[in-house]
Amino acid sequence: MKELTTKFRRLKTSIGGNREQVRYEDTFGMPREEQAHITRPSRWNTRILGELEFAMNLSQERKGEYDPVIENALDYLLSCVGENGVLTNRDCEHAEDLLKELEQASREYQLILAAHSHMDMNWMWGFHETVSLVLATFRTILNIMDEYPDFCFSQSQAAVYKIVEDYDPSLMERIKSRITEGRWEVTASAWVETDKNMPNMESLLRHIQYTKEYLSKIWGVSHFDVDFSPDTFGHNGNVPEINTFGHVKYYYHCRGLDGDYVLYRYRAPSGREVLAYREPNWYNGAITPHIGAGIVELSRRCAGLKTGLVVYGVGDHGGGPTRRDIERAKDMMSWRIYPRIRFGTIREFFREAETVRDQLPVVGHELNYFAPGCYTTQSRIKRGNKRLEAALTDGENLSVMAGSLAGFAFQRDRLVKAWQDVLFTQFHDILTGSCVQDSREHAMGLYQTSLATANTQLSNAMLAISEQIDTSSVSTDADPYDSQSEGAGAGYGLENLAGASAAERGMGKTRVFHIFNTLPEERREVAELSVWDWTGDLKRIAVAGPNGEAVEYQLLDGELQQYWDHKFFRILVDVGVPAFGYTTVVLSEVESETYPVYFQTRERLSSFYPDRILKNDKITAVLDAKTGRLRSLKSNDGGRERIAGETAGLTYVETEKYTSSAWQIGRHIRSIPVDQCVRLEETARGPLRESVK
C-alpha cells in the first residue's frame, strides 16, 4: 500500500490544478483553488483521481486484494503523463476500464446526499434579516427542485416554516407539494435548533409538542422522528429520555462528543435511548470527490454499515445547496469505481442504520461541553428565559386550577403563542449569548410580550378563584368614603421581567389575601405581601390564617413607602399552602393593651461599622462591613468553615483574549476581588428573614 500511495501522490501532483492536503479541510465556501484563480483539473482527471483514492481505501480494507489492479492503472496513467505531459479523457477512461474488477465491490457502498440549509436564527443579525434569508433560501430551493426532479432537500426548525406562513404565504403551497412528494424532508422536531443545556425539561418537551401541533395542522407533516441539532453546543444526559417521550428516535449532531464515535446509541440514565449520528465532517459542506474516500473507514466505525450520509449546503446565513453541488453529484453518479450515489433524506439514512443498531456502541453520559463561555454571556437573555419558563408554567397551572374551581376559560392559543416566542429565543446562538445587540433586543422584546400574556392569564385565573372563596365571615370596613387603595399597585414589581401584577382590591384596615401554590407539592414558605394605602398603625398589625389562627409575620418597612400617588408597606407571612392550592390570610389592626407613650429614638452615640451577621436555624454568615464580602459561613451544628480563603464574593476575572470571546473562556490571568463596597444596607432583620444588600 505504501508504494501505491507514493505513486498516487506523484500522479495527483503531476496533474495541473491539484494540491495535496495535509489535514482535514472544510468545504464550506469557495475552494482555495478558485479563490486563487487556479484552473481546476478536467472532469475526467477529477473522476479518475477520485476513483483511485476510493479504490486504495477499499483494497486496504480487503487486505490488499486489489493492489495489483490499482498499481497497473497507476503505472499506465503515470506513463501517459510522462509521455504527453497531460492525462487526456481517453487515458482516464482506459484507466477506469483497467479498474473494472473493483466495480462490483465499489457498488456495495452507497452515499445518501441530503441537502440542507443551516439557518441561524438572529445570530449576527436582527430578526428582519432572518426572515429575509429564510424566504430567499426557500425560493432558491423550490426553483432547484423544479429543475432537478430527483433532488431532495431537508429542513429543520418549525420557526422557519412559521416565518413562511407569516411573511410570504404564497410559498406555502409549493413547499407543501414537495413535502407530499417526499422530496422536501421536514427534520423539525423542535421549534428551533435549541440549546440543550439551559432550557428546562418542560421547554424541551414543548419544543416537540408545539412543533408537532403546528407542522401537522398547517403543513400536513406526519413524521417527527428526527432531532436535527447539528450546531448545538452541548447535549444534556436526558435528551434521549425527552426525545423518546415525544416519539423522536433519531438524533443528528456535530458538536459535543470526541473520539471515533460516528453512529452510536445515546442512552439516558433511565435506559431510554435514541439512535445518534455524530457528523464526522461538518454540516456545512459541498459535494467534492472526497465524499466517497472515507466511506470505507466510516463503515468500520459504524458496525459495518455500508451506507454513508453526506449533509451538504451553504449555511449559517442560509443559502443551501448550490447548482455546482447538484451538477457534481449527478456527474459522480456515473463513476464506475465509486460508491453508489443518490439524492435522499436524513431519515432514509437512519432507517438504513437501524440494521446495525444492536452492534453499535452505547454512550450513556451527557455530551458536554463546547463553548463554556456561553453559560455566562448575555445574562439578561438567560434571566429572561428562566423568568418566562416559570411564568408561563405558573399561568397554565393556575388556569387549570381556575378552570376546575371556577369554570375559568383557558386561553390556550395565547399561551401557545407566548411559548413559541420563548422557544424561539432558546436557539443555540440566542440563549447562549453568542449573538449581537439586535438579536438580544429582539429576544428581550419577545420576553416582554410573552410575560404580558403569562401575567394576564395568571392574574385572571387567581381573580376567578378568589371570587369563589367565601370570605363573608371576615368583618371589613363598610364605609368606603375615604378609601383610595383599590387599584393601587398596578404594575408594581414588574421591573426587569420580575413578578406578576397584583393590584390592591381591598380597602380599609382589614385586608384579605389569597396565596397560591402552583407546584405539585405542599409548600411552607415565607410570602411577601404589599399592602396599599393602609391607614392603620403599623405597630398594631395582626395576621390570621383561614381558621382564625395567628400567623407569624415580619414587617419589611417600618413606615409607608411611596409609589406614584399611592403609599404601601411590605410584610412577610409564614404560610403553608397545599399542592396546586391556596390559603387565605387576613391582615387587620388590633387594639393595644395600653395606650402608647413615644420617646425620641435617635442615636445618641456614634459607632464603628461592625460586621454584619446573618443567622437562621441552619447557618450563620458573617459579612465584612468594609468590603461586603462573605468572611465566614458555618452550619449551626458546629460544622466546618465553608470559606476557603480570607473572603468570598463577587470576583472580577481577567482572562487571555480569545478570538471567540462569547464562546470560549481564555486562559486565566488573575482574579480581582470586588471589594470596594460603596454601601452595605440591612434590608431585613427579624424572625422570618435576615438580609443585606
The C-alpha cell that represents 396 in the structure block: 397554565
The C-alpha cell that represents 97 in the structure block: 476500464
- Residue 665, classed as helix, strand or coil, is coil
Residue 113 banded pLDDT, cuts 50, 70, 90: very high
- pLDDT of 28 > 70? The answer is no
% of the chain at pLDDT higher than 90: 77
pLDDT tens digits along 122-132: 999 999 999 99
- Residue 287, classed as helix, strand or coil, is coil
From start to end of 551-608, where are the E strands? 553-555, 561-563, 566-577, 582-589
| Among candidate residues 623, 611, 627, the one with its CA nearest the CA of residue 675 | 627
- pLDDT of 599 > 90? The answer is no
pLDDT tens digits along 344-380: 999 999 999 999 999 999 999 999 989 999 998 999 9
The C-alpha cell that represents 172 in the structure block: 406555502
Distance, CA of 686 to CA of 317 (rounded, Å) = 56
Report the CATH superfamily, name and number, of domain 374-466: Glycoside hydrolase family 38, central domain (1.20.1270.50)
Distance, CA of 484 to CA of 620 (rounded, Å) = 43
- pLDDT of res. 387: 96
Q: What DSSP assignment string belongs to 455-511? A: HHHHHHHHHHHHTTS--TTS------TT---TTTTTTTT-GGG-S--------SS-E
| Among candidate residues 579, 573, 536, the one with its CA nearest the CA of residue 555 | 573
Neighbours of 288 (CB within 10 A): 19
Run of H or E including 655: strand 651-655
pLDDT tens digits along 35-54: 777 778 899 999 999 999 99
Asked if 549 and 556 count as a contact pair (C-beta separation under 8 A), the reply is no
- pLDDT of res. 660: 72
Residue 592 banded pLDDT, cuts 50, 70, 90: confident
Please, what is the average pLDDT of the chain? Answer: 93
Residue 151 banded pLDDT, cuts 50, 70, 90: very high
Residue 185 banded pLDDT, cuts 50, 70, 90: very high
Asked if 427 and 158 count as a contact pair (C-beta separation under 8 A), the reply is no
CATH assignment of 505-589?
2.60.40.1180
- pLDDT of 23 > 90? The answer is no
- In 3-state terms the chain splits into helix, strand, coil percentages (rounded to 5) of 35, 20, 45
pLDDT tens digits along 253-312: 999 998 889 999 999 999 999 999 999 998 888 999 999 999 999 999 999 999 999 999
Residue 651 pairs in a beta bridge with 673
565: CB partners within 8 A, 6+ apart: none
- Give the phi and the psi of residue 505 in degrees, each rounded to 5: -120, -5
The C-alpha cell that represents 535 in the structure block: 391607614
Asked if 405 and 268 count as a contact pair (C-beta separation under 8 A), the reply is no
- pLDDT of res. 232: 96
- Give the phi and the psi of residue 621 in degrees, each rounded to 5: -120, 140
Distance, CA of 477 to CA of 334 (rounded, Å) = 92
pLDDT tens digits along 475-527: 887 677 778 888 888 888 877 777 677 788 888 999 999 999 999 999 999 99
Name the residue ranges covered by the structural domains of the chain.
2-106, 110-370, 374-466, 505-589, 612-692
Measured at the CA of 55, the angle between CA 54 and CA 56, to 5 degrees, comes to 95
Distance, CA of 214 to CA of 220 (rounded, Å) = 9
Mean pLDDT of 542-551: 96
- pLDDT of res. 478: 66
Distance, CA of 394 to CA of 382 (rounded, Å) = 19
Mean pLDDT of 87-106: 97
- pLDDT of 663 > 90? The answer is no
569: CB partners within 8 A, 6+ apart: 530, 531, 534, 538, 555, 556, 557, 559, 560, 561
- Architecture field, domain 110-370: Alpha-Beta Barrel (3.20)
Mean pLDDT of 95-99: 98
Residue 22 banded pLDDT, cuts 50, 70, 90: low
Mean pLDDT of 647-658: 87
- Residue 689, classed as helix, strand or coil, is coil
Residue 26 banded pLDDT, cuts 50, 70, 90: low
Q: What DSSP assignment string belongs to 535-561? A: -S-GGGEEEE-TTS-B--EEES-SSPE
**Residue-level length of the chain:** 693
| Among candidate residues 349, 411, 400, the one with its CA nearest the CA of residue 185 | 349
Give the lowest-confidence range in 168-172, 643-647, 667-671. 643-647
Q: Which amino acid is at 614?
A: L
What Rg do the C-alpha atoms of the chain give, in angstroms? Answer: 34
DSSP state of 587: E
Asked if 455 and 449 count as a contact pair (C-beta separation under 8 A), the reply is no
Mean pLDDT of 92-99: 98
Distance, CA of 557 to CA of 683 (rounded, Å) = 9
Give the lowest-confidence range in 292-296, 571-575, 596-600. 596-600
Mean pLDDT of 424-452: 97
